[in-house]
Amino acid sequence: MARSLKIAAYMAGLRHSTDDSKLTAQPDRPDGAIIWVRCSLPEQLTSVETLQRKLAEDADAIQIIATVPDWDDSLAGRALPEPRGKDTIRAFIAHWRPMLAIWVRADLDFVLLDGMRAAGVPCMLVDATGQGLDQVAGGWVPGAIRALLSEFETVLTVDQTAARKLVSAGTPQARILVTGPMEDCGKVLPCHEDDRRVLSAAIGTRSVWLAAAARLNDTKALCLAHQEASRRAHRLLLVVVPDRPENACHIADGLRDFGFHVALRSQIREPTEPMQVFVIDTEDDLGLWYRIAPVTYLGGTLHGGGCRDPFEPASLGSAVLHGPYVAPFQRQAARLNEAGASRLIRFDEVLGREVEALLAPDKTAQMAHAAWDVTSRGADVTNQIVTLIRQRLEHRVA
């Protein structure tokens, strides 16, 4: 797309002021089509990973390469540092040869967009809000913002207000789709249906709750909680899936010392009537137990030590209880809490009270419905992006 002479002059003036450091070592480029997703913030990577899972369902090999401006070692394996400076951007594009670039809720960057334009990489803007346009470097150049926004073939906005802002700023109306935000919708963990049927039959009408990825420091809280909740449901069964199989015996011993009848899955394949706690020391899929237990406590969240994605149990109909230590899944936990699809507990003594309250089927059904709404909400937007990507791939092949 042609640029005004003033914009061309502005870009030329950046030649000596832009950091043109050499491109850092890059991983080998995989075969197949590459999508470059430019994130503004690390929190957006979970939505990008959802997009990658959706694309993986297609027979075509499409690989996402994500970048973030403020990269650190904690993002290794999830994203690459964003290239800076004209020569570095040129080398990055030459190495990866992306067929498409996707900007996520972008803080627009003249140099990066110009590098994509020069290389002929088509661009899409998603999660567009229309905010921050007045803070774009070089935005004072007449026609600059209009020229930037015109670089995007398609713009997906979070709402009508954002669409109006972007049209006023110069985005062609025909390129805008109002879709809502692109949100991560969680990975549905698998299970063997035969195993689920056998275990469900063995459990029968007993109430069940699950401690998923339980840490050793969860043992006391689990003891107190199961003792309190069992006062209402005398046949209540606690299933404990440790964070690591080697911790299973230590957790089982702690629960036995508290007075519970405990069994290990490696020794007894299905729960029996006298059993109060079933500790899973085998390689069972968590997806199996999420489907069986209507209530799940996320291990490691009361005293720290790590956290599973709360969308995992929520997407399978299990009401979620968690402590304050939910990193790196703060956004997911906040969305579930806001919708009434999970509950935050801050002290060991509260866990049993919450488990007891959720033994009522109507309570868990209400939370499960809210959880399904939250975890599936972002799927429509992601599916639209997948469709646009596939159309682009078909157009390129044709």
For the stretch 263-322, pLDDT in tens is 999 999 999 999 999 999 998 789 999 999 999 999 999 999 889 999 999 989 899 999
Same domain, 170 and 216: no
Tokens of 291: 């489907």
Residues 114, 151 within the same domain: yes
Domain match, 258 and 358 both: yes
**Domain match, 205 and 169 both:** no
3-state secondary structure 365-391: HHHHHHHHHHHHHCHHHHHHHHHHHHH
Give the pLDDT mean for 214-221.
Answer: 96
46 and 94 co-located in one domain:
yes
Q: Please, which pLDDT band fits residue 383 given cuts at 50, 70 and 90?
A: confident
| pLDDT at residue number 91 | 95
Written as six digits, the tokens of 114 are: 């110009």
Residue 351 contacts residue 345 (beta carbons within 8 Å): yes
Q: Are 325 and 264 members of one domain? A: yes
Residues 203 and 322 in one domain: yes
The verdict on 210 and 285 lying in the same domain is yes
pLDDT score recorded for residue 20 = 52
Total-model pTM: 0.71
Same domain, 175 and 223: no
Which helix (H) or strand (E) segment holds residue 126: the answer is strand 123-128
Span 154-180, pLDDT tens digits: 999 999 999 998 998 889 999 999 988
Q: What is the mean pLDDT of residues 246-251?
A: 96
220 lies in the same domain as 131: no
Number of structural domains, the chain? 2
**CATH number for the domain that contains residue 305:** 3.40.50.2000
Q: 205-214 burial string, b = 16+ CB within 10 Å, else e?
A: eebbbbbbbb
Provide the CATH number for the domain around residue 143: 3.40.50.11720
Contact between 138 and 144 under an 8 Å Cβ cutoff? The reply is yes
Q: Are residues 146 and 232 in the same domain?
A: no
What pLDDT sits at residue 203? 96
- Read off the pLDDT band of 391 (50, 70, 90): confident
- pLDDT of 12 reads 54
Question: What domain range is 34 assigned to?
Answer: 5-185+378-397
CA–CA distance, 304 with 325 (Å, rounded to integer) = 5
Output the pLDDT for position 177.
92
Task: Tell me: pLDDT of 247 over 60.
Answer: yes
Q: What is the mean pLDDT of residues 329-340?
A: 90
Q: Are residues 136 and 24 in the same domain?
A: yes
Chain centre distance of CA 333:
11
